Amino acid sequence: MRARFAKILRREAISRKTTSTELDPLSIRLIELMQKDSDIGLAELAEAAGATTSSCWRRLDELRKTGVIQRSVAVIDPAALGLTVNVFVQVTLEKQNEAALRAFQNRIARRPEVMECYLMSGDADYLLRVVVEDLAQYHRFVVDHLTTIPGVANLRSSFALDQVKYTTALPTAHLRGSEAVGDPAPRRKPPRGSARRKTE
C-alpha cells in the first residue's frame, strides 16, 4: 500500500521510545496482513480486518509512526538475479574487545552480499549468511573482504544445498491471549491451578 508521508513520519518515529505498548487485535491483524502483502488496498484490508477504512488507515499510520512497521520492501526472486548460492560463515576473532567487534561489524554491514550477521554465543563469534552467484564469487568475497578485516582469526564456511524456507513474516501467535493462529491448537498447558477435577 502506498504511504505517502512515510518518510516525514519516520523522523519522529526514531525519537519515540519503542514502547512495548500492548497491541490490540486490529493492530495484530493489520500486521499479519501487511507482512503477507503490503500492496493490498485499504478497502481489502478493512474488510479482512473487519473494520472501516478510516480505522485501518489511522492504525497503520500509528504503527508506522511508532516504528512497529518500519517500511515496505519488494521481495525479489534470488534466482532471477542469479543468486542461487547461500553460504553460512562462522567467524572467530582474535580478540573480543569492544573495538574489535565494532570494526568487524562496520566492515560487514557495508557488504551487500552479507544478508544477515549475528553475534553468537558458543564457539564462533559471528554467524553470517552470504548470498552469491557461485563459489568463485564467494571465494573473492572471502579473500577480498572477509580476510582483510583486521582481527579475523578463523573462518568456517557451510554451504546450503537448498533454501527450504525463507520468510520475512514474523510470528504473531504469541500476541494473542490464546487461540493460536497457524495452529490447530494442540494442547495448551493449563494456567496453573486450573487443573480439571470436577469436570473429569
Residues 107-166 that bind a second copy (CB under 8 A): 108-122, 126-127, 131, 133, 137, 140, 144, 158-166
The residue (of 153 and 159) whose beta carbon lies closer to a second copy is: 159
Q: Which residue from 7, 78, 71 is spatially nearest to 38, judged by alpha carbons? A: 71
Rule CB under 8 A: say whether 35 interacts with a second copy.
yes
Q: How many residues bind a second copy (CB under 8 A)?
A: 81
Residue 110 interacting entry, from a second copy, DNA, none, C-beta within 5 to 8 Å by type: a second copy
Residue 92 interacting entry, from DNA, a second copy, none, C-beta within 5 to 8 Å by type: none
Extract the C-alpha cell encoding 66.
511508532
How far is Cα 175 from Cα 23, in angstroms, rounded to an integer? 7
Residue 36 interacting entry, from DNA, a second copy, none, C-beta within 5 to 8 Å by type: a second copy
The residue (of 70 and 106) whose beta carbon lies closer to DNA is: 70
How far is Cα 42 from Cα 190, in angstroms, rounded to an integer? 39
- Sites for DNA among residues 25-84 (CB under 7 A): 41-43, 51-55, 57-58, 61
The residues near 89 (Cβ < 8 Å, ≥ 6 apart) are: 126, 127, 128, 130, 142, 146, 155, 156, 157, 158
Given the C-alpha cell 469436570, which residue does it identify? Answer: 199
